[in-house]
């Protein structure tokens, strides 16, 4: 069993057994047939993943690690808000006819701001600070920009990263306002772990802990039977995920620079209904 499996199983069990049901309340999401999509939720879930211990991919089912990395590169490296720059269809339902998702995600990271040292966007500022002032407690990004929310086709879910150096290790806190646990939990963990690995490598640190803070961790009503079956499955050791050590520039990374070995999983969960 990977540690990520244990954290996922414990979190899902706690939500199902001790969570709060929103059934009967005024909720926004609906299923494709128009039925209101209720959830069982827990407030303030915090999970810690030590990348020195393992790469935190669950083995209960397969997480498409390279697709998750492609999305994080789309947001953080390409700083794009257009699905034509993404090698998957996961954002299609939120895109306009031109492929734009509005002033969301990568758009916000690419906006340059004035600092004493010059003009930087949020990603370049993180890299600059980690190279020049690594023990600062002010190294963070934020995509939840209130003045632009009305022009975002989807409000950011995972919206903020705070970086913190301890010795020779780079740690990070990922803040997420809301998460569909079945559809997105390990996907987000995997992609932000990969991001932490990349940022650590180009700034001269070893990857440390990823602390994932979820304000509203929920399981949708139609997902509960799927989750109950999933967390009873056999588990396997975590995969080995390594990064091409020759890359020293964050903007040179590609999905091909990640090597995934010994990733054994249970069968994929297919046709998960998605509430929108």
Instruction: Supply the DSSP symbol for 237.
Output: P
Cα separation, 257 vs 208, in Å, equals: 20
**Nearest to residue 73, comparing CAs of 215, 264, 256?**
256
Q: Answer yes or no: is 177 a known binding residue.
A: yes
Q: Answer yes or no: is 137 a known binding residue.
A: yes
Q: Are 212 and 176 in contact (CB under 8 A)?
A: yes
Q: What angle do CA 84, 87, 90 make, to 5 degrees?
A: 85
Cα separation, 38 vs 22, in Å, equals: 6
Q: Answer yes or no: is 188 a known binding residue.
A: yes
Torsion angle, alpha carbons of 29, 75, 158, 261, to 10: 110
Structure tokens at 252: 């040179």
Q: Answer yes or no: is 220 a known binding residue.
A: yes
157 in active site: yes
Q: Answer yes or no: is 180 a known binding residue.
A: yes
The residues facing 47 across adjacent strands are: 212
Q: Are 135 and 170 in contact (CB under 8 A)?
A: no
3-state secondary structure at position 10: helix
Q: Answer yes or no: is 179 a known binding residue.
A: yes
Identified catalytic residue from 143, 157, 182, 231: 157
Q: Answer yes or no: is 233 a known binding residue.
A: no
**Nearest to residue 247, comparing CAs of 84, 53, 73?**
73
Cα distances (angstroms) measured from residue 132 to each of 124, 125, 170: 12, 10, 14
Q: Which residues are annotated as a binding site?
A: 137-138, 177-180, 188, 218-220, 275
Catalytic residue numbers, as ranges: 157
- Residues within the annotated binding site for dUMP? 137-138, 177-180, 188, 218-220
């Amino acid at each position: 069993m990977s540690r990520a499996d244990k954290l996922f199983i414990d979190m899902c069990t706690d939500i199902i057994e001790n969570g709060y049901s929103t059934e009967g309340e005024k909720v926004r999401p609906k299923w494709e047939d128009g039925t209101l999509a209720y959830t069982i939720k827990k407030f303030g879930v915090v999970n810690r993943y030590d990348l020195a211990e393992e790469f935190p991919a669950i083995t209960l089912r397969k997480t498409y690690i390279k697709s998750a990395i492609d999305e994080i590169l789309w947001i953080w490296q390409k700083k794009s808000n257009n699905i034509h720059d993404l090698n998957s269809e996961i954002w299609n339902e939120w895109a306009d006819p031109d492929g734009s998702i509005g002033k969301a995600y990568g758009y916000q990271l690419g906006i340059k701001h004035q600092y004493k040292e010059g003009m930087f966007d949020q990603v370049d500022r993180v890299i600059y600070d980690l190279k020049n002032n690594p023990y600062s407690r002010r190294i963070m990004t934020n995509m939840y920009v209130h003045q632009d929310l009305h022009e975002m086709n989807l409000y950011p879910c995972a919206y903020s990263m705070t970086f913190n150096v301890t010795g020779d290790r780079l740690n990070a806190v990922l803040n997420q306002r809301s998460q569909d646990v079945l559809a997105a939990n390990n996907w987000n963990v995997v992609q932000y772990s990969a991001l932490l690995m990349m940022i650590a490598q180009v700034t001269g640190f070893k990857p440390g802990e990823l602390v994932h803070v979820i304000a509203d961790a929920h399981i949708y009503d139609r997902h509960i039977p799927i989750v109950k079956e999933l967390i009873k499955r056999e588990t396997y050791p975590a995969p080995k995920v390594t990064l091409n050590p020759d890359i020293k520039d964050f903007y040179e990374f590609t999905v091909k620079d990640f090597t995934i070995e010994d990733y054994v999983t249970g069968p994929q969960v297919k046709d998960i209904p998605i509430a929108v």
